[in-house]
Structure 1
Amino acid sequence: MGAVTTRRGLLLGRRETRRRVLPPGVTLESLTACTGCSRCVERCPTHIISLLDERPTLDFSGGECTFCGDCARACPEPVFVVLGSTQLAHVVAVGDGCLARNNVACQSCRDACPQEAIRFRPRAGGPFLPDVNVDSCSGCGACMGVCPVGAIGITERLEEGVHA
């Protein structure tokens, strides 16, 4: 996963970048084989794959990755090299803007997580605080789209270079 400057940002002189979030089974090395045909985009049942600079990237704002493999089966090139992958190269991280961290009761991320990787631990004098079990987190993004304040981001897994 790397930061990519958008064309619009470049033309407008902005340094804002979007992070490339690789689909399951794609590595940075295999990404070079992508021709930008968009078959993976068309086949994704949750519509989270889009093209960024003619290469696939994931956007969890409207859905999650179900690891169905439709994108890999649709791709005519050797881009999806780790077949049957059920984990992405990142895990979620709950930021400071989280409602629960700001004394507002909210657990929508926990409710959306299919792996039950987000738990809330009690604290004295306020709402429970979110805690992400990175070993259980698949990086599917289910929690990101449901967060009412967009406080959930992603961070690399500890194993460098593994984008499975």
Structure 2
Amino acid sequence: MGSGAPVESASPSRRGFLRGRVRAVAPAMRPPWAREEHDFISSCTRCDICIDACPTAILVRADGGFPAVDFSLGECTFCGECVTRCAPRALLRRAEGEAPWALKASIGQACLAEAGVECRVCGESCPTGAIRFRPRIGGVALPQLDADTCTGCGACFASCPTRAIVVRAESEVPTESEQ
């Protein structure tokens, strides 16, 4: 899936290379229902209609003028306005019941609960209830993310006061035993 590009992986920026500044850049997270990256780039006209149509205003103009998701601005409600208005069909609905992208959240070590501070903001903001808190003897409850329930909407990312949550390609999310 096009928007499932790993956020942590990096590739050299063509613009930076041509300017003599070779550095790694993380690929942009594309809007929901984005086609594979190559097909998305080939078909997107950079008209900004999807950006303007987004009711939560999380779609922004990214490198090269292509739309990308910025979860620091809020969450994706999967309303479908971006895909409905995409005339060049860079965004295409998937089959019924198929996820709009392969993004999932993961909770990192900067989590306040991991440091012994009571915080449940991510769980309270998760619309699917994918983040629950596991009681712990002698300490605050720890967050536990159910990857099967997580839609990758970004609600937890936007609300996390320490940015301990990362939304990235499902293939890049550590399993429960790795966390």
TM-score range with shorter-chain normalisation? 0.7 to 0.9
Whether 1:24 aligns to 2:32 is: yes
Normalising to structure 1: TM-score of the pair?
0.84
State the percentage of identical aligned residues: 38
Deviation at 1:8, TM superposition (A): 9.3
Any unmatched runs of 5+ in structure 2?
A: 173-179
Whether 1:38 aligns to 2:48 is: yes
The 8 Å contact of residues 93 and 100 in structure 2, kept in 1 or not, is answered as: no
Compared CA separation, residues 30 and 81, structure 1 to 2 (3 A): farther
In 2, distance between residues paired with 1:124 and 1:34?
Answer: 52
* CA RMSD of superposed structures (Å): 2.5
- For the residue of structure 2 that corresponds to 1:138, the secondary structure is coil
* Residue 65 of structure 1: aligned partner: 76
Give the counterpart of 1:111 among 124, 127, 145.
Answer: 124
* Residue 93 of structure 2: aligned partner: 82
- For the residue of structure 2 that corresponds to 1:41, the secondary structure is helix
* Residue 140 of structure 1: aligned partner: 153
Any unmatched runs of 5+ in structure 1?
A: 160-164
- For the residue of structure 2 that corresponds to 1:134, the secondary structure is coil
Normalising to structure 2: TM-score of the pair?
0.78
* Residue 56 of structure 1: aligned partner: 67
Deviation at 1:78, TM superposition (A): 1.4
- For the residue of structure 2 that corresponds to 1:128, the secondary structure is strand
In 2, distance between residues paired with 1:41 and 1:12?
Answer: 31
Deviation at 1:147, TM superposition (A): 0.5
Task: Give the number of aligned pairs.
Answer: 159
Cα deviation per residue 1:73-128 (whole Å; 9 max; x = unaligned)?
22110111225765431100011000001110000000000000001111222111
Q: Judging by fraction of residues, say which structure has more helix.
A: 2
The 8 Å contact of residues 67 and 86 in structure 1, kept in 2 or not, is answered as: no
Name whichever of 77-86 and 31-40 sits farther off.
Answer: 77-86
